[in-house]
Amino acid sequence: MDNWLEYFKQQTSQLLQQLETLVRYESPTNDKAAVDVLGAYLHTQLEAMGAKITLYPRDVVGDIRLAKWGDDTAAPILILCHIDTVWPVGTINTMPIKITEQQFFGPGALDMKAGIVITLAAIQALQEYNALSRPIWLLLTTDEEVSSHYSRAIIEELAQKAALVLVMEPAGEYEALKTMRKGHARYTIRTEGLAAHAGIAPESGINAIVESAHQILYLNNLNDLPKGISVSVTQIQAGVASNVIPPLSELVADVRFASMEHFNEIDRAIHDIIPTVLGAKISIEGGLLRPPMERDQRILNAFKQAKSIAEQMGMNIGETFTGGISDGNLTAPFAPTLDGLGPEGAGQHAAHEHVLIRSIPRRAALLTAILQNWQDATP
Ligand SMILES: [Zn+2]
């Protein structure tokens, strides 16, 4: 097959039909039973495609599945899809599927059921043309929308064995691939002061709110948006009554950064905080939640190769970055990772969530060609 684009364009209506089926299986992360119904449906499909399936049962969220094709002679390409969505069961009634000339609307269509459709179509096409040239692993997780607590260890373990990780999250604008995602850290800073009557003996108290105020301005000064660093104080809790010098105060800071080097700088600066108000005591908890997907040389090389594969099909793809997080943040420390392999659309997690229909066959063609032609970097 030398024209995957044409091949998938001719399949557009089947691809949309499959997308409709997956959207109708509503699968909010916190509804294990619903997610497992979709999981079982996909299990049957994967089995029919000759996959070797490993099931990872989960108590709280839906069961996780790993589907493998090919032998163990080469390092696999690992494809990440999550089958959970942010939409509760029943959303399909208030936000029904709507197909216009250019768009497919529906809860979870863009994030990321269209990505699942594309992945299955790509692997099926390669099988049909006997063009599966290396092992492919497909991991279907069930808790991406709530930070992948129950899948993180599996994702990280598989990434260490992979030659390349492809994340089927939606594309950027103009079908750009995502080559950089910021990392995420969170800190809770607790201040202990001393209560006192605000009228009778204010001078004998230690005002925890005033101490927090100093910290807030200090934290705010750590912002460096041109460098991609944001430090946002997002929550504060303090005070017991209007006439009491507050003995306790607790604030939360959300931190985003583009590199681990920047994270280390900010982490040090936060741990350097010393009390300004005499007698106040502070304790700092928290730290790194997710490393950044750093746009390092490995990712840059992977992007260049994907771009050149796309060019051979007459497609021009760019790259973009985002402050949002995906499972690509977890794999990037271990394997070159390309994210945003899914189709273009808009309205992720919003009422106007939709996929651009023309993007579906284009992305299926791109994924298929990458899986077929990928050359590992020579060490
Ligand atoms: Zn997603």
**Position 56 in a domain:** yes
From 247, 262, 290, the end of a domain falls on: 290
**Dist. CA 51 → ligand 1 center (Å):** 24
**Dist. CA 111 → ligand 1 center (Å):** 4
Same domain, 285 and 303: no
Same domain, 195 and 174: no
- What's the gap between Cα 129 and its chain centre? 32
Helix (H), strand (E) at residue 370: helix 359-373
**Dist. CA 170 → ligand 1 center (Å):** 7
282 neighbors 193 (Cβ within 8 angstroms): no
Same domain, 26 and 154: yes
pLDDT per residue of the chain (379 residues) written in tens, 0 to 9? 779 999 999 999 999 999 999 999 999 999 999 999 999 999 999 999 999 999 999 999 999 999 999 988 899 999 999 999 999 999 999 999 999 999 999 999 999 999 999 999 999 999 999 999 899 999 999 999 999 999 999 999 999 999 999 999 999 999 999 999 999 999 999 999 999 999 999 999 999 999 999 999 999 999 999 999 999 999 999 999 999 999 999 999 999 999 999 999 999 999 999 999 999 999 999 999 999 999 999 999 999 999 999 999 999 999 999 888 999 999 999 999 999 999 999 999 999 999 999 999 999 999 999 999 999 976 5
**Dist. CA 190 → ligand 1 center (Å):** 33
Helix (H), strand (E) at residue 12: helix 12-24
**Dist. CA 208 → ligand 1 center (Å):** 40
**Dist. CA 138 → ligand 1 center (Å):** 15
Same domain, 220 and 361: no
Same domain, 58 and 113: yes
**Dist. CA 4 → ligand 1 center (Å):** 25
From 273, 290, 307, the end of a domain falls on: 290
Same domain, 322 and 359: yes
Please give the Cα distance from 205 to 196 (Å, whole number). 5
Same domain, 174 and 307: yes
Helix-helix angle 114-128:32-48, to 10 degrees? 10
Residue 129: CB atoms within 10 Å: 13
**Dist. CA 82 → ligand 1 center (Å):** 7
Beta bridge partners of 98: 105
**Dist. CA 168 → ligand 1 center (Å):** 8
Measured in degrees and rounded to the nearest 5, phi and psi for residue 180 equal -150, 130
What's 90's domain CATH number?
A: 3.40.630.10
pLDDT at 379 (0 to 100): 59
- What's the gap between Cα 230 and its chain centre? 19
**Dist. CA 273 → ligand 1 center (Å):** 36
**Position 379 in a domain:** no
**Position 162 in a domain:** yes
DSSP 107: T
Q: Which residues form the domain of 261?
A: 183-290
Same domain, 29 and 146: yes
**Dist. CA 143 → ligand 1 center (Å):** 10
pTM, entire model: 0.90
